[in-house]
Structure 1
Amino acid sequence: MIDVLLDNTYKTEKDKGIIYLYLLNSILKDYNFKPYFYVELYEDAKEEDIEEVKKFLLRKDLLKFVEDMEIVKKRIIREEKDILKIIATHPQKVPKLRVIKEFEKVKEIYEHDIPFAKRYMIDNDIVPMIYFDFEKKRVVSDKLPELKMVAFDIEVVDNKIIMASFWDEKGGKVLTYKDFSHESVELVKDEKELILKIIEILKNYDLIFTYNGDYYDFPFLKERAKFYGLKVKLGRGGEEIKIKRGVETKVYIPGRVHIDLYPIAKRLLKLTKYTLEDVVYNLFNVEKLKIKNFVEYWEDKDNILVEYSLQDAKYTYLIGKYFLPLEVMFSRIINQVLFEVTRMSSSQMVEYLLMKRAYKLNYIVPNKPSEEEYKRRVAESYEGGYVKEPIKGIHENIVYLDFKSLYPSIIISYNISPDTLDCPCCKEESEKILGHWFCKRRIGLIPMTVKDLVRRRVEIKERLKKEKDKLLNYEQQSLKILANSVYGYLAYPRARFYNKVCAEIITFLGRKYIMETIKEAEVFGFTVLYADTDGIFLTIKGENKEAILKKAYNFLNHINSKLPEDMELEFEGFYSRGIFITKKKYALITEEGEIIIKGLEYVRRDWSGIAKRTQKEVLEALLKEGDIEKAKKIIKETIKKLRNLEVDKEELIIYTQITKDLNEYKSTAPHVELAKRLVREGKKIKPGDVLGYIIVKGAKQVSERAKLPEEVSLDEIDINYYIDNQILPPIIRIMESLGVSEKELKQEKQLTLDNFF
C-alpha cells in the first residue's frame, strides 16, 4: 500500500496502547508495538535477576504492569553489556515502573522517558511526508505529497470572535455575522454559527497553517466554543483538538497537520520583530495592511477590516508554502512527524537524529540530565572559537575565505564522539588532544551521523549541478543546518548526548586551524583584516582585485594540501569595500552593491527606527562612496531634526521582547516596567510578546518613563535620551573606528555677539 504518513499517535483500546498511523488516504493501526525501557544492573544481567526483579515489583504491586521481561545485549557508551528490557502493558504504566531504580541491584534505567509515538518512529523505518510503500517499507517517490492545505486566522473584538478568514490554493474567504459589502464575505447568523462553520471548513483539509495559532487562534476558538457548549472536534476520527501545555504550548489535531508558522519564522529568520507583517515584508517585500482600531471598523462595517482579515490568511498561506519544503525535509531526515518537527529547535532535531542512529547501532540512548546535573553543566565553561581583533577602519578589495563546515569536518576527521573518547583499545597509538584521545579502530556515533549528513549533501549538490530541482535544494539546506548544529548540540546542557570534553576539543582544534591559516596568510603577503571562528578576511594594500584574487586561489591550494582529508578552506566572496569596528561588528559591500551587516544595531530589535535608519544611511555613505564627510553630515542633520522635532513619532518607537514571566525580572527596564503597568490595567502580557514604547521627559528613571506610542505627543518626547542613547551609540562605534569623535558629531554652532548683528 502506497500512501503518505501525516501524523502518528497512540490510543488506548482494551487497556493496550495502539499506534495510529494517520495516512493521507487511510489509517493504519499497529497492535504489536509495545512500550519498553531498559534496566542496567551493576553486573551483567542473568536469568535469576529477572526473578528477583519480578519479586521486587510484586512487593510494590507493580508486576501487573509488566507484560514481559528479557535479557538483551546493548552498548552503553563504549561497553557492551547484558541488561534487562522491561516491556510494559501500557505506555502510561512506564512512569510507575521507574520505581525499579530503588532495587539494590539496579545501577540505572534508560529510555523510560521517550514518548511512545516518537519511540515508534525511532524504531521503525517509516519515513513521514513522502510517498511510502507500507508493505515493503521503502520510499516510492520523493516528491512533495499533494496535500489539501489551508491557512486559518480569527479576528476578535470585545472577547468575541467576529471574523474567521481562510485561504487555500483557490483563494480566500471571510466568515462574519455582519453584512459587509465585500465580495469575499460569507455571512453567518452569529458567533456560535461562526464557530460551527470554522470546524466544518477545517475538517476538509490535511494541513492547517496558522500564525501564532498555538497560543492564540486555536486556544481562543476552543474557549469560545466551550462558552456555547461546543467542542472543536477537528481530528480525523472526530477527536477534539488537544492543547499540550509545557515549556511551549502546542495545539495538536489528531490525523491532521497543524503548523504554527511563528516558531518556524523565529528559528529560520533573523528579524527585529516577528509579527506577521514583518515576516511578510522580509520574505516577499510586501507591506501587508495594518489597522489598529478594530472596534471602529467593526462598528462601521468598514471593508478594510475584511481586507485585513483576508490578508492575514493569504500571507499565512504564502509563508506556509515558503517554509513547508524545508520542514518536510527535516521531517524525513529525522523520522518524526511534521507537527513535532515544526516545533523543534535545531538541537532537538539533532537529538532525534542521534536517537534514530543509536537504535540502529544497538546503542543505549543516554538519559536527559536531572536539574542538578543540568546546573552542573551550565556552570562548566571552556574557550570557544578564535576571534581576531579587527584592523579598524575602511578597507578595499577584501577576500573572504572560510572552512567548509569547520566543526562538522573536525568531528569527522578526529572521530570525536562520547563513545570514542579515551577508548582503552588504542590509547598508546592515538594523538593526545588536551590530554584526551579518540578511537582509531571504530567510528563513533556522532561522526558517523555527521559524515552521513555531509555525504548526502555533497551528493545532492552534485545532482543540483545537472538538475534545477528546488526540492533538492531544500534537502541540501536541511542537511547543512543539521550538520552544523551537532557541535552546538554536544555543548547544550540539556542534551542527552552532551559531552563537555568533546565540545571543548572541537573548539580547540577550530582555533588551531584558523590561527595556523592566519600565520600562513601573512607569510603569503596578505593583511589579515579580521578572523572569526572559521573564516578570515584578507587584502593586500596597493594591489587590485585581479592580483588579490589570483594570490587568494594560490593560497587556497597551498592550505588545502596540508589539511586533513575531510577539511577544506573555500573561497567565499569578494567585497569591494568593508568597515571593521570591533569583534563581531563589521559591514561589507559586494560589487553588486549589496550591503552585508554583522553584529551592528541595524539588525537588532531594541533600537528605534530613527537609530537604525541613520546607521543604515551612514553605512551606505561609507561603503558605497567611501565618504566620511557625508556620513558626518547625515548624523549632524539627524540630531538637528530631532532637536527641532522634525521627526515622525513612529521612528522613535523602541521594540523589546518580554522573554520571561514579569515576576522573574530582577532588574528594571523600560519594557518590563511598561509591561507591569499594562498588567495592572488588565491587559495580558506573556513571554514572547514584543512591546513598542517611547521614552518621555521627566525626572524619574528612564525605566519609569516608557509609554505606549499612542499615549505620547511629540513635545513630550525626551529628545536628549534619543540622541545620547539611540542615535549616537551605534554610530559612534563606526565613526570612532574612522577617527571621528563623539564630541565632533554632537558639536552645535555656538552663539556669539556676531549672531546678533
Structure 2
Amino acid sequence: MPHGFLLSRHSFDQGDSTCIHYWLTTPQGPAKLVIEGERPVFMVKVADRAQVTEALAGVPHQWQQLGFQTFGREEAAMLYFPTIDAHRRGQTLLQNRDIEVLEGDFRLHDRYLMERFARGGLYFEGRAQARDGYTEYRQVRLRGAEVQPDFKVVSLDIECSGQGELYSIGLYGHGVEEVLMVGKPQSADTAIIWVDDERALLKALEARFRRLDPDIIIGWSVVDFDFRLLLKRAERHGLHLKLGRGGADARWRDGREGSQGFVTLPGRVVLDGIDGLKSATYNFESFSLEFVAQALLSRGKDTEDVDNRLSVIEHDFHHNKPKLAAYNLEDCRLVWDIFQHTRLLDYLRLRAQLTGLELDRSGGSVAAFTNLYLPKLHRSRYVAPNLPADGGLASPGGYVMDSRPGLYDNVLVLDFKSLYPSIIRTFKIDPMGLIEGLVEGLADDDAIPGFRGARFSRDRHFLPDIIANLWAQRDIAKREQDAARSQAIKIIMNSFYGVLGSGGCRFYDTRLASSITLRGHEIMQQTARWIEELGHQVIYGDTDSTFVWLSGRPSPEEADAIGVALASEINRRWRHKLKEELELDCLLELEFETHYRRFLMPTIRGSEAGSKKRYAGLVVKGDEEKLVFKGLETVRSDWTALAKQFQTQLYAMVFRGQDPSDYIRETVAKTRAGELDEQLVYRKRLRRKLEQYVKSVPPHVRAARLADDIRRQQGLAPRYQNKGWIRYVITLNGPEPVDHRQSPMDYQHYIDRQLKPVADAILPFVELDFDSLVDGQLGLFGVVIPAPPLRAHPQKGNASAD
C-alpha cells in the first residue's frame, strides 16, 4: 500500500458538498489525496431537540442518536451538515439562542484524520491519476502509519530596503545554492540569477519553486517577515504568487491582534527556525539569527557590522551586489546549519507523528492532547465538553519547600523521574476516569481518591495508558540514543499536566490538575519525612527534587552509595504504602541525580529566610569541576557580564575554601578605574513600542529614547521605536545607549547594584562582609583590620564540617 507523510491539509465547500485535500511527500514523489462528500458534524443535547429543530429550520442537517452522552451524563445527538457553510450557519443560529453546541470548533480535515488515528504518516489507497509534477488520488481510504520521510528542504532568505523594496532572494538546500537578485549581471563568486526588476524577481522565485519542488521551506522569521513581505510586494504588482504545488497560490492570513500571521503553500510547509526552537524548549538570551548562530555554530552573519546591517545592505545593493549576494546566501546557510545541528526537523516530524499536529504548528499542547484523547473518548460514547465559561479557576502549583540557608558540604539531589506523568499513571488521573469515578453509588474501594472532591475510576480511563505508551517509546529512544525522539516525547508527556490545568483546554477541571499537583505535594513531603527518619537532613525541595545534606565527611564514593541506597529505600516504601493503602501499583521512581561537593542555599535578600529556586553548587567528577547556578545572576539575562564573571569566580573560590578577599578588592578597584567597562553593558529587550511606555519608564526605555533622539539629530532613521534590543550603560546622568554614550560612567552603581548583591549572597556564610572589604576599614592608628579566616558558621545555617 502507498505511504507518505502529511505536509498540508485543508477543506472547503465544493457546490453542495465538501472536499478535503491532503498533500503528502512519498517515496514516489508528491501526492494529493482528494476526499469528497465528508460531512461536518457537531453535537447537541437530546433534551434541546425541539429548540434545535426550530432554530435550524432553514439549514439542511441530519439528526442522529448514536448512544453518546455528555460529561454531565445527558444524552447527546450528532448533527451532520452537507457543507462547511451550513455547519457554520447552524452553529451560529444555535449559539444565538443559547443552545449549547459541543465539539463545534474542529476543522473538517482535522477531525477526519483524528477519528482515524492518522498522525503524520499515512497509508493510503485510491484511484490514481498522474498530474503535472504530482499524483492525485481519489476515492481514498487512509490510516495511520509509521513513516520515515526524506524531505526535500530549501532555506530561504530575502534582502530588502528599509521601505520593503525587494533586493534579492537567497535559496540554499537540496539541489540549490544561489541568489536571485535585481540588477545587471556582474562577476561574482556566488551563483546569482540576475533579473531586471522586483516583478521579475517574484516571477523568478515562482520558476525556481517549480523546478526545485521543495517539500519544506525553512528560514528565520520566514513567515512573519519574508513571506509576509513577498506576498505584500506581489500584491503591489497585481501578482498571485504561485508557490504551492500544482500551481496553487500562496495565501496569507493575519493572526489575532499582535500575533504572528500564517502562510499557506498547498503541498509545502514553511517552518520558522525561531518557532521551531522554542517549541523544542530551546532558550536563548536573544533569538536573533546572529545570536543563535554564534551560540550553536560559533559563527555568525557574513557582515562586519551586525548592528547596522540595514544600512550596509542598502549600500551593498547599490555599490557591491556580489557582496550582498554572499551575505544573503550565508544567512540561508546559517539557518540550514542550525536545523542540522539541532536536528530540529527530526523533532518536528516526530512531534507530528506522535500527536497529529501540523509540522508548522507552534505551541499546540492543547491540540496535541485533544488529538490523542478525543477519538478514544468517542469510542466510549462520550462527547467532549466545551471550554470553561469562566476561563478556569487557578490550580495549585508545584511543591516548593522552605529552604534552610547555608553553605554546605556534600548535598545530594534526589529526583522523581517525570513526577507528574508518573502520578497520572499511578493514580489513574483522567478526564473520563473522573466522570466515571464520581458515579453515584460507586463504592469507595472501586474508586481512587483524588483532591478537591475528585475520585477516579480504576479501570475506565485513557490518559494513563497514553502516557505509558509514550514512556515506553521514550525508553526505546534513550537506549537507541535518539535524542530528538526522546525530547519530543518528554515535552509531550510533561505538557499533559499543564493542559489539564489550563482554561484553554476543553477537558479542564480543577479537580484534575489539583489531583496531580497536590498529590505531588504529598509525595514530596512524605519523601522528606522518610529521609529524615533515616538520619539525614532535607534542606530544600522543589517540585520533584529533594536536596539532602550528608553530615560528617563521607568520601565521594560513600556519598554516591548513600544516594543510590536512599533512592532505593524510598522507592521500596512508596511501593509498600500504595499497595497497602490504595491497592495500587506504584510507578513513582526516585533517582539519585547529583552529588554537590559544596552547595550554597542563599537567603532572600534583606532577610534571614531561605530563598526558593535559587542555589549554587560545585560538582566534582574525577579531575573535572563544574559550577551549577540556579536562579542566580550568572544565569539571568538582565545582569551584566561583570556580575556573571564576578559570581562565577567568587563562588569557585569559596567552594574551594580559598579566601576571596583580595579578588573582591581587585575587582572593585578595576571597576572604579574603568578597566572593566566592556563588562558593564546591560542588554534588554523592548517588549512594547516606545510610545507605549507611559506610566513606567524603565532604564532601557530611557536609553532607547535617547538613542533615537540622537539618531534623528544626525539625520538617521530611529531604530528602537518598534521593539527590539537595546545595549546601554548607567552613567552619572542616568542610562545611556552604548553607541551614543555622552557622560562618565557611574561606577558606584555597578559596585552597589552588580557586585555587592552577588557577594552578599555568599560572604556571610564565611564571615566576610563586602562593605568592610571594599571600604578597607581602618582601625586605630591606621592599621588595616584583616579579614577573618574562612570557617563554618552553623548558627547561620553553614553546615560545612570542620
Q: How many Å separate the matches in 1 of 2:61 and 2:559?
A: 72
Partner of 2:33: 28
User: Are 2:337 and 1:318 aligned?
Assistant: yes
Partner of 1:524: 534
Note if contact 2:430-2:512 (Cα within 8 Å) is conserved in structure 1: yes
1:236 CA displacement = 1.4
1:525 CA displacement = 2.5
Q: How many Å separate the matches in 2 of 1:447 and 1:665?
A: 50
Structure-to-structure mapping, 1:199-218, within 5 angstroms: 199-203=206-210, 204-218=213-227
- SS of match in other structure, 2:245: coil
1:600 CA displacement = 1.7
User: Are 2:501 and 1:508 aligned?
Assistant: no
Could you tell me which runs of 5 or more consecutive residues in structure 2 were left unpaired when the two chains were aligned: 127-139, 579-585, 603-610, 784-802
Q: How many Å separate the matches in 2 of 1:67 and 1:289?
A: 61
Q: 1:224 to 1:651 in 2, by over 3 A?
A: farther
Q: How many Å separate the matches in 2 of 1:110 and 1:200?
A: 46
User: Are 2:99 and 1:82 aligned?
Assistant: no
Partner of 1:146: 150
Match of 2:427 among 373, 393, 414: 414
Partner of 2:198: 191
Structure-to-structure mapping, 1:483-494, within 5 angstroms: 483-494=493-504
1:15 CA displacement = 4.6
Note if contact 1:606-1:656 (Cα within 8 Å) is conserved in structure 2: no
Q: How many Å separate the matches in 2 of 1:344 and 1:185?
A: 37
Q: How many Å separate the matches in 1 of 2:596 and 2:249?
A: 57
Q: 1:393 to 1:167 in 2, by over 3 A?
A: farther
Structure-to-structure mapping, 1:9-48, within 5 angstroms: 9-24=10-25, 25-41=30-46, 43=47
User: Are 2:70 and 1:69 aligned?
Assistant: no
Q: How many Å separate the matches in 2 of 1:352 and 1:232?
A: 33
Q: Which amino acid aligns with 1:532?
A: D
Note if contact 1:129-1:337 (Cα within 8 Å) is conserved in structure 2: no
Note if contact 1:607-1:655 (Cα within 8 Å) is conserved in structure 2: no
Q: Which amino acid aligns with 1:313?
A: C
Q: How many Å separate the matches in 2 of 1:190 and 1:102?
A: 52
Match of 2:630 among 598, 610, 619: 598
Partner of 2:414: 401
Q: Which amino acid aligns with 2:18?
A: G
What does the per-residue CA deviation read over 1:333-372, in whole Å, with 9 as the maximum and x for residues that have no partner? Answer: 11132122xx1244443344333443444432222344xx
Note if contact 2:601-2:615 (Cα within 8 Å) is conserved in structure 1: yes
What does the per-residue CA deviation read over 1:133-186, in whole Å, with 9 as the maximum and x for residues that have no partner? Answer: 78774566543x111101111222332222322221467333333567641240
What does the per-residue CA deviation read over 1:632-669, in whole Å, with 9 as the maximum and x for residues that have no partner? Answer: 54444333333222234475132235069964875332
Q: How many Å separate the matches in 2 of 1:347 and 1:612?
A: 38
- SS of match in other structure, 1:444: coil
- SS of match in other structure, 1:201: helix
Structure-to-structure mapping, 1:586-735, within 5 angstroms: 586-590=615-619, 591=621, 592-623=624-655, 625-627=656-658, 629-630=659-660, 632-649=661-678, 651-658=680-687, 663=692, 666-672=695-701, 689-697=723-731, 705-713=734-742, 715-735=743-763
Partner of 1:112: 104
1:228 CA displacement = 2.9
User: Are 2:169 and 1:164 aligned?
Assistant: yes
User: Are 2:562 and 1:568 aligned?
Assistant: no
Q: How many Å separate the matches in 2 of 1:667 and 1:510?
A: 39
Partner of 2:54: 55
What does the per-residue CA deviation read over 1:463-497, in whole Å, with 9 as the maximum and x for residues that have no partner? Answer: x53xx463xx4323222221111111122232221
Note if contact 1:639-1:723 (Cα within 8 Å) is conserved in structure 2: yes
Q: Which amino acid aligns with 1:153?
A: D
| TM norm structure 1 | 0.85
- SS of match in other structure, 1:656: strand
Q: How many Å separate the matches in 2 of 1:15 and 1:661?
A: 52
- SS of match in other structure, 2:625: coil
What does the per-residue CA deviation read over 1:186-232, in whole Å, with 9 as the maximum and x for residues that have no partner? Answer: 04233333333333334421100111112211112222223333332
Q: 1:737 to 1:219 in 2, by over 3 A?
A: farther
- SS of match in other structure, 1:108: coil
Note if contact 2:690-2:701 (Cα within 8 Å) is conserved in structure 1: no
Q: How many Å separate the matches in 1 of 2:354 and 2:161?
A: 43
What does the per-residue CA deviation read over 1:119-145, in whole Å, with 9 as the maximum and x for residues that have no partner? Answer: 2222223231567778774566543x1
1:431 CA displacement = 5.7
Partner of 2:385: 366
1:260 CA displacement = 0.8
Deviates more, 1:665-674 or 1:497-506: 665-674
Q: Which amino acid aligns with 2:277?
A: A
Note if contact 1:155-1:162 (Cα within 8 Å) is conserved in structure 2: yes
User: Are 2:268 and 1:259 aligned?
Assistant: no
Q: How many Å separate the matches in 1 of 2:528 and 2:452?
A: 25
Partner of 2:134: none
Q: How many Å separate the matches in 2 of 1:724 and 1:302?
A: 50
Deviates more, 1:658-667 or 1:505-514: 658-667
Q: Which amino acid aligns with 2:453?
A: H
What does the per-residue CA deviation read over 1:431-487, in whole Å, with 9 as the maximum and x for residues that have no partner? Answer: 6454524234433343343333224334x25xx53xx463xx432322222111111
- SS of match in other structure, 1:184: coil
Q: How many Å separate the matches in 1 of 2:740 and 2:113?
A: 53
Partner of 1:274: 287
The alignment's C-alpha RMSD in Å is 3.4
User: Percent identical across equivalent pairs?
Assistant: 24
Q: 1:739 to 1:668 in 2, by over 3 A?
A: farther
Partner of 1:235: 244
Q: How many Å separate the matches in 2 of 1:319 and 1:664?
A: 35
Note if contact 1:166-1:172 (Cα within 8 Å) is conserved in structure 2: yes
| TM norm structure 2 | 0.81
Q: Which amino acid aligns with 1:589?
A: L
Q: How many Å separate the matches in 1 of 2:122 and 2:769?
A: 60
Q: Which amino acid aligns with 1:125?
A: F
Q: 1:439 to 1:182 in 2, by over 3 A?
A: same
Q: How many Å separate the matches in 2 of 1:656 and 1:618?
A: 28
Q: Which amino acid aligns with 2:150?
A: E
Q: Which amino acid aligns with 1:397?
A: N
1:18 CA displacement = 1.0
Q: How many Å separate the matches in 2 of 1:128 and 1:103?
A: 37
Q: How many Å separate the matches in 2 of 1:140 and 1:107?
A: 39
Q: 1:252 to 1:71 in 2, by over 3 A?
A: same
Could you tell me which runs of 5 or more consecutive residues in structure 1 were left unpaired when the two chains were aligned: 700-704
Partner of 2:786: none
Q: How many Å separate the matches in 2 of 1:751 and 1:287?
A: 55
Q: 1:393 to 1:86 in 2, by over 3 A?
A: same
Note if contact 1:17-1:91 (Cα within 8 Å) is conserved in structure 2: yes
- SS of match in other structure, 2:350: helix
Q: Which amino acid aligns with 1:212?
A: S
1:574 CA displacement = 2.9
Q: How many Å separate the matches in 2 of 1:133 and 1:660?
A: 53
Partner of 1:702: none
What does the per-residue CA deviation read over 1:401-452, in whole Å, with 9 as the maximum and x for residues that have no partner? Answer: 1111111111222222343333324253346454524234433343343333
- SS of match in other structure, 1:162: strand
Q: How many Å separate the matches in 1 of 2:207 and 2:234?
A: 13
Structure-to-structure mapping, 1:334-349, within 5 angstroms: 334-340=355-361, 343-349=362-368
What does the per-residue CA deviation read over 1:550-604, in whole Å, with 9 as the maximum and x for residues that have no partner? Answer: 2222222221112242111112233333332221112233324333322123222
